[in-house]
Structure 1
Amino acid sequence: MKKNTLKLFIVALVLFVLLAAIGNFSFIGDQYGQPIDEIDNSIQWEFFEKQLLEPKQAAKAYSTGEPISFPHKFKEHFPSIEMYGTYVAKVKLPSITDGENWAVYVPYQYGSYKLYVGNQLVAKNGVVGTTKQQQVPENAPRIGQIHNTDEEVYITLQLSNFYSLRGGFTKPLYIGQFSELVNQHDTSIIFHFFINGMIFVASIFSFLLGFFNNRNKKTILFALLSFIIALRSVFSRPFLYSITIFDVPWQVGVKIESACAILAASIAITFFALLFSSSLLKKWLWLVQAVLAIQLLLIIFTEPLVFQQTFIFTFVLFLLLLLYIFIKVSITDETFTLELAVHFVGSLVIFMAAIHDLIVVQKGINSSLLVQHSQAMYVMLVCFGVSWQYAQKQKEEQRLKAEILAINSSLDLKIKERTTQLEKANERLQQLATKDALTGIANRYSFDHQLEFYFKQALQTKKDLSLLLIDLDVFKHYNDYYGHIMGDALLQRVVEVIDKQLPQEAFFARYGGEEFAIIYPNAGEIQLKQLGETIVEAVAAQHFEHIQHPLGFATISVGGCVMNATAPFESKKQFVTVADERLYIAKNNGRNQFVN
């Protein structure tokens, strides 16, 4: 046996001991007052076989009957359990000083009975009869108030049994003050209803949990198991169904109790097979399930005397299979999840409680039944397991949320960094696409787009639009003499001079090579001439050295034209062509001048 399994066995054993203590406490609470044998130690019961004596007849016949010892079971004293008769005893009741009457409490007897104290009928269950047809069996706890004030009275118990395997005078009678017995009875009933209600609620909750959790079979089976055990508890002692508004015949109640026990066993096997499927042999499961199915059919279609004879064998077979499951799991399973551990311990507690109850019922031991309490404990264990798992998942969820927030935060920073980098890259690309790399002013591509825009705008608004084309004079000779690096430097210096002379609204671009262009919106002939002459003079005034130039320094030639109402152009191409022609004229006329 693995260490983990041994620990679980120890936990289950401790819980069972605790359960037995609770059950004993509950049992003591169910046994109101004192057993009649403890009130009068000299009491002697006598049995009159096959005689249903009335109280007066019993008093006269006392001392002539067969002395018996309690408990008195028919199957141990007679060849047949189908028997009827009368139990008689003389009892000395203690006096009551506070004026309240005594009362007798009868948990139940297997069979029908009438109980007399003196000549008073104080309690009965069903209808006592001398034949099976006459008897109407019933099981229910009874409290009867004793009005007889005599200290010494005869107690007469008429009892008949033709339906149960466990007939006879097997349960003690309890004597106590009436109000105390009633209070204890009500408290006990409330306690049992509370336990059953808790199991019912847990079964409904488990069913809904399993149903909405992808139809989880294990959770649904556990819910059904809890429901069936709770339903069985209604029909087992203390026979809660007998105090409801429903009139359920004894035979129907016994069938429901037995059928629930078989159904619970079948569901339990299926449930454990799902939990520990790797450890079980299916052929044994199917064999026991088949036996349980046959037993269930016997319960439905035969009388209690028939199916009760095979019920014990079937239930023992079920318990043996459970024992096999526990041993097999203990040998093969090395580790347990929390879910498996909870169900393993819970099922072990129920297993021990079932063996306890089987012994109690078969031996007629005056003790509490523990299956109902064990299922309540099982439910609490499962609730603990579910709560623990939920709490752990919540913690894990919070941890994951924190990690996600941290990751998102770092991602946000990275995204911002990447966005900034992309924006800068886009700006750089835009500059590369629209700016001239050498001079830093707009390139030919940008010029074409801007001219398209201003040309259309001028056509629509009918406002003036000026265009200037600039050429650096004798630049080829400059390059040949000074070299291309010096030529590039000269272009940059000339552009810098021209750019300083431009109004804010002018658009300056490199047209190609040593040629440049200026788009001057809303400028007429006067503004065009002023700007053209200004930039020519500004460049010449710098006296940039140019030995290959006739003047010895660099100059520019500029050609310009204006588009207005009196001088419209059909296309921008025509517009540029005219400006280029003016530039050509300026160069042919000796350079270093502006022509419009």
Structure 2
Amino acid sequence: MLLLQQSSWALYEPVPESYYVHQKNINSVTFEENTTTYLSGQWQYYPKQLLQTATPTRPSRTVLLPISFKEMGYPQNTYGTFIGHFKIPKEFIGRRIAIWIPNQYGAYRMYLNGDFLLRLGKVGKTIQTQQTENAPRFAYFIAESEYFTVTMQVSSFQSLHGGLENPMRIGVSQTVNRQFQQLMMSIAGVCGAVIGVGVFTILFAIFRGVRHSQSQGFFVFGIFIIFLALHNLFSAPYVYTVFTNIDWLWGTRLEYIFTYLSAFFFINYMFLLNQRYLHPAVFTIAVFVLSFNIVITFLSVPEVFEKLVFYSFLLGIIVVLNFAYGFYQTVNRHEPYSTINLWAVVLLCVTFLHDFLLSLNWIDSVNLSFASTSFYAFLIMVQQSKNYAYHSSRIEKLNNNLLCTRQIS
């Protein structure tokens, strides 16, 4: 799987250790044979400058990675250079070392001790000269010394994000490769299983008869979890980049489109489940807004359609409040309801809220939508399997009772 991911090997000249004696910020990175660590620490940032090596005469500031341009007080549409000095354990001198760079928003060029190592997209000083790309990358080098310097030229002009927002990792190349493969295969495996469950649910609804109200719910739910799995494939850490050549623009578009389609079929599922959970007026407005967002996402660039998410979130608050009020009425009136479905919906809404705030850099956390949506699909399938087993068992008992009655008569 890793062979499908772009990587680069570096042949570089080691810098004399005397050079690092005069450096103020040298970050010690500690990893072992089977572990990796973050390539973070203190870096020098040179705003609106594209450098290959540290230049004391140029204005700079010390920053802690990961960090965005916005967190440093700059606009998101800008460029600059990050330079960090590092020290690795002596026992790894002469070993193959790997740096795992997750997706960064924009474009970057990476240098090791001033020698070119890797690039993603094309770094530019204007929106016309930059070519954006969004995918994980790997840089490999053989450590000739325990000291080395990493330079990252970064630009961002076509996203609401920018800078080096996602932490890089460093370790022995074999360990880094294994961790990446484990992550990609686990996500792809779970998404494949969820898609399989979705296809089974759709076929079950079709053969049962789509005109039946309960079958319609199964049918819509099956479509919902398929788009949910596709959304997880096209969101961070962008598993789709491992086995497809889809460019970053359509990858970003499909990420948002699958998100909107998941929300579209989810609210349809809830509306079919019980109209009290979603008022017809709120349902109609939500369907219109999601359809409008899908069309705009198809036709526009990320700078435009990414902003729609923020405004659509205001409607999402109304939808969630409607869910809460509907469930409250159901519980207050002592009407029968599914406890599993109730808590699954609560979990899903909370994690989508969490990931939305994370996308806006309002909180410091990790994406939870993949875990929560997979768990949600699992809970619903457990409930459906339980109901199906109960009804099948009941039908078998009725048939057996009918046969016994005929034999007696």
Question: Do they fold alike, i.e. is TM over 0.5?
Answer: yes
What corresponds to 1:233 in structure 2? 232
Q: 1:364, 1:103 → 2: CA distance?
A: 31
Matched residues, percent identical?
Answer: 24
Q: Is the 8 A contact 1:50 1:85 kept in 2?
A: yes
Deviations 1:273-296 (A, max 9, x none): 111114532112212222223322
Q: 2:143, 2:54 → 1: CA distance?
A: 15
Q: 1:208, 1:344 → 2: CA distance?
A: 25
Decide whether aligned partners of structure 1 residues 97 and 53 sit closer, same or farther in structure 2, where only a CA change above 3 A counts. Answer: closer
The reply to whether residue 155 of structure 1 matches residue 150 of structure 2 is yes
Please give the residue correspondences for 1:162-561 in structure 2 after superposition, counting only pairs within 5 Å: 162-215=157-210, 216-244=215-243, 246-333=244-331, 334-337=334-337, 340-363=338-361, 367-411=365-409
Question: 1:221 is paired with a residue of what secondary structure?
Answer: helix
The two structures have a TM-score, normalised by structure 2, of 0.84
Question: 1:146 is paired with a residue of what secondary structure?
Answer: strand
Structure 1 residue 163, shift from structure 2 partner: 0.6
Decide whether aligned partners of structure 1 residues 257 and 106 sit closer, same or farther in structure 2, where only a CA change above 3 A counts. Answer: same
Q: 1:406, 1:70 → 2: CA distance?
A: 75
Deviations 1:45-102 (A, max 9, x none): 1111222112xxx234488422223333223445632111111122222223585222
Q: 1:36 aligns with which of 29, 35, 39?
A: 39
Question: 1:75 is paired with a residue of what secondary structure?
Answer: coil
Question: 1:47 is paired with a residue of what secondary structure?
Answer: strand
The reply to whether residue 119 of structure 1 matches residue 114 of structure 2 is yes
Structure 1 residue 243, shift from structure 2 partner: 1.2
Decide whether aligned partners of structure 1 residues 150 and 100 sit closer, same or farther in structure 2, where only a CA change above 3 A counts. Answer: closer
Q: Is the 8 A contact 1:46 1:62 kept in 2?
A: no
Q: 2:87 aligns with which of 84, 89, 92?
A: 92
Q: 1:67 aligns with which of 47, 62, 69?
A: 62
Q: 2:57, 2:220 → 1: CA distance?
A: 57
Task: Give the helix-richer structure, 1 or 2.
Answer: 1
Structure 1 residue 341, shift from structure 2 partner: 3.8
Q: Which segments of 5 or more consecutive residues in structure 2 lack a partner in the other structure?
A: 1-34
Count of aligned pairs between the two proteins: 369
Decide whether aligned partners of structure 1 residues 89 and 279 sit closer, same or farther in structure 2, where only a CA change above 3 A counts. Answer: closer
Q: 2:259, 2:274 → 1: CA distance?
A: 22
Q: 2:362, 2:176 → 1: CA distance?
A: 23
The reply to whether residue 133 of structure 1 matches residue 128 of structure 2 is yes
Q: Is the 8 A contact 1:52 1:85 kept in 2?
A: yes
Letter in 1 for 2:197: A
Which is greater in Rg? 1
Q: 1:237, 1:319 → 2: CA distance?
A: 24
Structure 1 window deviating more from structure 2 (210-219 vs 356-365): it is: 356-365
Deviations 1:334-362 (A, max 9, x none): 2335xx44433322221122112112222
Q: 2:395, 2:149 → 1: CA distance?
A: 73
Decide whether aligned partners of structure 1 residues 298 and 136 sit closer, same or farther in structure 2, where only a CA change above 3 A counts. Answer: same
Q: 1:188, 1:279 → 2: CA distance?
A: 36
What corresponds to 1:145 in structure 2? 140
Deviations 1:229-279 (A, max 9, x none): 1111121111111111x3212111111111111121121111111111145
Q: 1:235, 1:82 → 2: CA distance?
A: 24
Q: 2:93, 2:54 → 1: CA distance?
A: 29
Question: 2:84 is paired with a residue of what secondary structure?
Answer: strand
Question: 1:363 is paired with a residue of what secondary structure?
Answer: coil
Structure 1 window deviating more from structure 2 (106-115 vs 395-404): it is: 395-404
Indicate the RMSD between aligned Cα atoms, in angstroms: 2.2
Question: 1:336 is paired with a residue of what secondary structure?
Answer: coil
Q: 1:366, 1:104 → 2: CA distance?
A: 23
Runs of 4 or more off by more than 6 Å in structure 1? none
Q: Is the 8 A contact 1:319 1:351 kept in 2?
A: no
Q: 1:173, 1:120 → 2: CA distance?
A: 19
Deviations 1:108-134 (A, max 9, x none): 211111222223444432221222222
Question: 1:59 is paired with a residue of what secondary structure?
Answer: coil
Decide whether aligned partners of structure 1 residues 364 and 254 sit closer, same or farther in structure 2, where only a CA change above 3 A counts. Answer: farther
Letter in 2 for 1:202: V
Deviations 1:174-211 (A, max 9, x none): 11111100111111111011111011111111111111
Q: Is the 8 A contact 2:231 2:259 kept in 1?
A: yes
Q: Is the 8 A contact 2:191 2:229 kept in 1?
A: yes
Decide whether aligned partners of structure 1 residues 185 and 148 sit closer, same or farther in structure 2, where only a CA change above 3 A counts. Answer: same
Question: 2:108 is paired with a residue of what secondary structure?
Answer: strand
Letter in 2 for 1:111: G
Question: 1:96 is paired with a residue of what secondary structure?
Answer: helix
Question: 1:229 is paired with a residue of what secondary structure?
Answer: helix
Q: 1:300, 1:198 → 2: CA distance?
A: 28
Q: Is the 8 A contact 1:199 1:375 kept in 2?
A: no
Greater RCO (CA < 8 Å, at least 6 residues apart): 2
What corresponds to 2:18 in structure 1? none
Decide whether aligned partners of structure 1 residues 196 and 385 sit closer, same or farther in structure 2, where only a CA change above 3 A counts. Answer: same
Q: 2:346, 2:245 → 1: CA distance?
A: 36
